[in-house]
């Protein structure tokens, strides 16, 4: 039986706009994005960056940056760290807008946010990319949540109060990535390959477009699907890309020749029609030459709590290897960077569950983590090259977001195991007892 957490557990922040996308920016920073769209509702569009840390009792989140994008809601994005500068590629309607994300160390010793090593005092206010001024401590619509958090007491936490990593955002290139003619074109998904050389986009016109990165020049446009593309993912070795669509097909493409490698085919329950919703690759024991492909699928044309499936596919043949049924439709999927755990979010109850990747055994269930469907999931990294992971007493932790404006975190406590020497000693003792009993009874 998977452990269950209280619904209020793990609440990190509550923003003032619906959330649609989440990703890891560094080993200690996450980025969430969304908005209310172009209608004049007063709901903002943009993204927020948070620094995460663990105070010995809880995960805590501190807002580092809030960037508004005007009338353009951010429905999807991908991030890539490029050494001294990061890249953020955000889907804004039919276009993909690139932003440069420049990290800087900020000192708070003088209380005005001076940059380390810049040789001059920094102003109390800093302009955003759009020219608007915002005081560093001005309200941003983020609700501060105590959540039982304790003030930092360790030396590392005290140092963190004086030197913190901040980010400057600058708009760069923009390209149109979807060209649907019969209706409003819309980019639905964007991904950046693990080696940082390619970017892939999919949208309502059904074409899979592969771009060179970070130049964002079109390398290939594959007529992959007849309906809009819902999700894409690069394989860890960057040789293949999986695409799924509302045309019910799940396809894997060979990036070397641009041809179809195989289709994802399975025997659906009672012959019912199912649509793939999300796809993610995961490594095997953190090895990029061995990996798994996971998908979630929902029944087509049925309303209510229908049975969705979490699936594990053979990457060589495209055949289904494992599947577990879940008692409602699924909305989101994430795999940890070492490939050990995966998580799913549901469509109706807003629940989040965590699974062991190789066996699809559920190890954590958080019912009603959100009041609406889970729009995004992202594990805290443990193999991030940008810095050490956050130290905590948990085995795994996953961030979840929703259109209910909440950013939550759900952690799997360290599972206690018996040391190997105790197990061996116990086996030897049992063998000895059995031998003595057999001798006593003359067997």
DSSP line for 350-415: --EEEEETTTTEEEEEETTSSSS-EEEEEEPPSS-TTSPPPP-SEEEEEEEEETTSEEEEEEEEPP
- What average pLDDT score do residues 18-38 get? 93
- For residue 56, what pLDDT is reported? 85
What CA–CA distance (Å, rounded) separates 309 from 297?
A: 5
> Is 7's pLDDT higher than 80?
no
Q: How confident is the model at residue 425 (pLDDT cuts 50, 70, 90)?
A: confident
* pLDDT digits 0-9 by tens, 31-88: 999 998 776 667 889 999 999 999 888 899 999 999 999 999 999 999 998 778 899 9
**Residues 106, 165 contacting (CB under 8 angstroms):** yes
The secondary structure element, H or E, covering residue 432 is helix 420-441
- Please count the other Cβ atoms lying within 10 Å of the Cβ belonging to residue 34: 27
Please report which helix (H) or strand (E) contains residue 169, including its range.
strand 163-176
Q: Residues with Cβ < 8 Å from 174, sequence gap 6 or more?
A: 95, 96, 97, 98
Query: How far is residue 190 from each of residues 10, 211, 285, 436, measured CA to CA in Å?
Result: 28, 10, 26, 67
Question: What is the phi/psi pair of residue 134, to 5°?
Answer: -140, 125
Q: How many CA atoms lie within 13 A of 32 on its CB side?
A: 32
* pLDDT tier at 143, thresholds 50, 70, 90: low
> Buried (b) or exposed (e) across 294-321, using 16+ Cβ within 10 A?
bbbbbbeeeeeebbbbbbbbebeebebe
pTM of the model: 0.82
CB 207 within 8 A of CB 227: no
Between strands 133-135 and 163-176, the pairing is unpaired
Choose between 118 and 15: higher pLDDT.
Answer: 15
CB 238 within 8 Å of CB 80: no
CATH superfamily of 297-380+388-443: YVTN repeat-like/Quinoprotein amine dehydrogenase (2.130.10.10)
pLDDT of residue 133: 28
Average pLDDT over the chain, rounded to an integer: 84
Does 6 score more than 70 pLDDT?
no
Residue 310 is predicted with a pLDDT of: 98
194: pLDDT strictly greater than 80: yes
Evaluate if residue 126 carries a pLDDT over 60.
Answer: no
| Cβ neighbours around 429 below 10 Å, total | 10
Give the pLDDT mean for 345-359.
96
Residue 265: DSSP 8-state: B
d(CA 422, CA 424): 5
For strands 59-68 and 19-24, give the pairing: unpaired
Closest CA to 176 of 91, 245, 99: 91
Question: Could you tell me if 393 and 36 are in contact, meaning their C-beta atoms sit under 8 angstroms apart?
Answer: no
Question: Residue 287: is its pLDDT beyond 80?
Answer: no
Nearest one of 133, 123, 28, 120 to 81, comparing CA atoms: 28
Q: Which residue would you say has higher pLDDT here, 165 or 38?
A: 165
SS3 assignment, position 161: helix
Label residue 138 by pLDDT band (50, 70, 90): very low
Q: What is the pLDDT of residue 39?
A: 65
> What gap in Å lies between CA 415 and CA 260, rounded to an integer?
42
Neighbour count for residue 227 (Cβ, 10 Å): 14
d(CA 243, CA 278): 9
| Tens digits of residue pLDDT in 363-399 | 999 999 999 999 999 999 987 666 788 888 889 999 9
Whether the pLDDT of residue 147 is over 50: the answer is no
pLDDT band per the 50, 70, 90 thresholds, residue 137: very low
State the pLDDT at residue 3: 42
**For residue 78, what are the β-bridge partners?**
89
pLDDT at 139 over 60: no
Task: Band the pLDDT of 203: cuts 50, 70, 90.
Answer: very high
pLDDT at residue 328, as a whole number: 92
Determine the Cα–Cα distance for residues 99 and 357; give it in Å rounded to an integer.
33
Q: Are 311 and 296 in contact (CB under 8 A)?
A: yes
Residue 50 in contact with residue 406, Cβ under 8 Å? no
Question: Do 412 and 364 form a contact (C-beta atoms < 8 A)?
Answer: yes
What's the whole-number mean pLDDT along residues 302-327? 87
Place of tokens 């007892």: 433
- Confidence tier at 115 by pLDDT (50, 70, 90): very low
Note the pLDDT of residue 300. 86
> Between these two residues, 390 and 138, which has the higher pLDDT value?
390
């Amino acid at each position: 039986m998977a452990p269950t957490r209280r619904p209020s557990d793990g609440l990190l922040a509550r923003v003032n706009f619906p959330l649609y996308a989440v990703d890891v920016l560094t080993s200690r920073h996450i980025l969430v994005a969304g908005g209310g769209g172009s209608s004049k509702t007063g709901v903002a569009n943009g993204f927020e960056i948070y620094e995460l840390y663990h105070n010995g009792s809880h995960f805590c989140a501190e807002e580092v940056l809030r960037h508004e994008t005007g009338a353009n809601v951010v429905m999807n994005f991908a991030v890539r760290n490029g050494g001294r500068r990061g890249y953020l590629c955000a889907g804004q309607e039919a276009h993909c807008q690139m932003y440069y994300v420049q990290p800087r160390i900020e000192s708070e010793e003088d209380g005005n946010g001076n940059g380390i090593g810049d040789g001059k005092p920094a102003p109390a206010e800093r302009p955003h990319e759009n020219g608007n001024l915002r005081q560093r401590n001005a309200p941003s619509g983020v609700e501060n949540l105590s959540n039982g958090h304790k003030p930092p007491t360790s030396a590392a936490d005290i140092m963190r109060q004086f030197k913190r990593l901040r980010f400057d955002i600058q708009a760069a290139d923009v390209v149109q990535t979807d060209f649907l003619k019969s209706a409003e074109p819309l980019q639905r998904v964007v991904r950046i390959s693990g080696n940082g050389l390619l970017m892939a986009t999919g949208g309502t016109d059904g074409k899979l477009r592969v771009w060179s990165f970070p130049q964002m020049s079109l390398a290939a446009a594959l007529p992959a699907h007849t309906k809009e593309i819902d999700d894409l993912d690069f394989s860890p070795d960057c040789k293949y890309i999986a695409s799924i669509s509302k045309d019910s097909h799940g396809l894997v493409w060979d990036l070397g020749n641009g041809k179809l490698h195989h289709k994802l085919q399975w025997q659906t329950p009672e012959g019912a029609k199912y649509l793939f919703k999300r796809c993610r690759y995961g490594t095997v024991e953190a090895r990029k030459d061995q990996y798994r492909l996971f998908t979630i699928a929902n029944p087509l044309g049925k309303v209510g709590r229908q049975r969705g499936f979490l699936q594990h596919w053979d990457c060589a043949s495209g055949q289904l290897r494992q599947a577990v049924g879940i008692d409602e439709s699924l909305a989101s999927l994430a795999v940890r960077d070492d490939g050990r755990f995966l998580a799913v979010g549901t469509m109706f109850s807003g629940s989040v569950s965590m699974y062991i990747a190789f066996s699809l055994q559920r190890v954590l269930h958080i019912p009603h983590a959100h009041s609406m469907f889970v729009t995004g999931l992202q594990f805290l990294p443990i193999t991030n090259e940008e810095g050490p992971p956050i130290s905590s007493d948990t085995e795994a932790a996953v961030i979840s977001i929703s259109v209910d404006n909440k950013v939550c975190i759900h952690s799997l406590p360290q599972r206690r195991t018996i040391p190997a020497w105790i197990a061996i000693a116990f086996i030897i003792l049992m063998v000895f007892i059995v031998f003595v009993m057999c001798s006593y009874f003359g067997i």
